[in-house]
Amino acid sequence: MTYTTPVPITDGHFYAGSSLELRDLTMAYGDIEVLREVSLEVAPGTTTCIIGPSGSGKSTLLRGVNRLHEPKSGDVLLAGESVLTQKPDAVRKRIGLVFQHFNLFPDHTALENVALAVRHVKGLSKAESRRVAEARLEEVGLAERADHRPRDLSGGQQQRVAIARALAMEPEVMLFDEATSALDPELVKGVLNLMAQLAQRGMTMLVVTHEMGFARKVADQVVFMDEGRVVESGAPSDLFEHPKSPRLQRFLSEVL
C-alpha cells in the first residue's frame, strides 16, 4: 500500500493530545506472559506506530493502556499520572480505542453510535449529544450517512464511524488496534488518511498497524515488537532504512 504524505493543514481544528508513557509494562493471560517489561514514551501530539509479527503482544499492549486488560506489573502514565491508581472508567474516557472489527452497535444508527457515550458517559443532553455526534460525523466525512445502520455502511465507513465515536469523547490519546486490517484494499486509504489528519491535528496516537507505508510517513516513532518485547524502536527512517536487529530485518523482508 503506497501512502502519500499529507500537506500541512491550515484550518483551525486542533486536538490537545496528552503524553503517554509505559514503564516496564508486563501483561499476562493466566500464567502466560504475553508482554514483558515494555517501556515506551509517546510525546504529546505525536504518533507512535507499533509493528511486529502476530503474537508479539501489540493488541494486548493497547488493552493494557486503557485497562481493558489489567497489567500484571509496571505502569502506564497518562499526562504524567499513573492510570493504575485511577478509576478505569475515568481513564477510558480520556483514551479512545479503535478496534480491528469496528465493534459498532448494530442496532444503532451511525449518529446514535457516536452519540451514545456522549450522552450516557459525558452526561450531555440528548440534543447536545446529537449535535456533538453530527459534528464528529461531519469531521470523518459521513454527515450524510448519519442515519444509516452499520450493516448499510462499507467497512471503511464503519471504521470512520468508530473513529468518530471515539473522538466524540474528546480523548487525549487515541489507540488504534489494526484499524485497517479488516478492510477491503481500496477502503484502507480513506481510514489511513483520516488517521493521518488526526496526527497532524495534534492527537497523541498509538497505532498498531501492518501498514508500513503509513508507519513510515506518519509516525514520529516506530516500535518493533516481537514475542512480547520491544526489539527495536526509533525514527521511521532509521527503522525502515537501517534495521539493526536480525529480527526486524527478517520481518521487513517478509512484509515489504
Within 121-180, the residues that bind another protein by CB under 8 A are 121, 138-142, 151-152, 154, 156-157, 160, 162, 165-166, 169
Residues 89-128 that bind another protein (CB under 8 A): 89-90, 92-93, 95-97, 99, 101, 103-107, 116-117, 120-121
Closest distance to another protein from the beta carbon of 92 (Å):
4
Cell 486503557 -> residue:
66
- Residue by residue, DSSP assigns 205-235 as EEEE-S-HHHHHHH-SEEEEEETTEEEEEE-
Torsion of CA 21, 117, 191, 9, to 10 degrees: -70
Euclidean distance between CA atoms 162 and 158, whole angstroms: 6
Q: Taking the complex as a whole, how short is the minimal distance between the CB of residue 106 and another protein, in angstroms?
A: 7
* Per-position x/- string for 221-240, each x denoting binding to another protein as judged by CB under 8 A, each - no binding: --------------------
Strands 73-78 and 173-177: unpaired
Nearer to another protein, 43 or 182 (CB): 182
Residues 205 and 174: beta-carbon distance below 8 Å: yes
**Smallest distance, another protein to C-beta of residue 121, A:** 5
What is the Cα–Cα distance from 133 to 30, expressed in whole angstroms? 39
Is 194 among the residues that bind another protein (CB under 8 A)?
Answer: yes
In order of 36, 231, 237, 247, the CA distances from 52 in angstroms are 15, 9, 16, 10
Under the binding rule (CB under 8 A), the answer on residue 81 touching another protein is: no
Q: Which residues bind another protein (CB under 8 A)?
A: 4-7, 9-11, 66, 68, 88-90, 92-93, 95-97, 99, 101, 103-107, 116-117, 120-121, 138-142, 151-152, 154, 156-157, 160, 162, 165-166, 169, 184, 186-187, 189-190, 193-194, 197
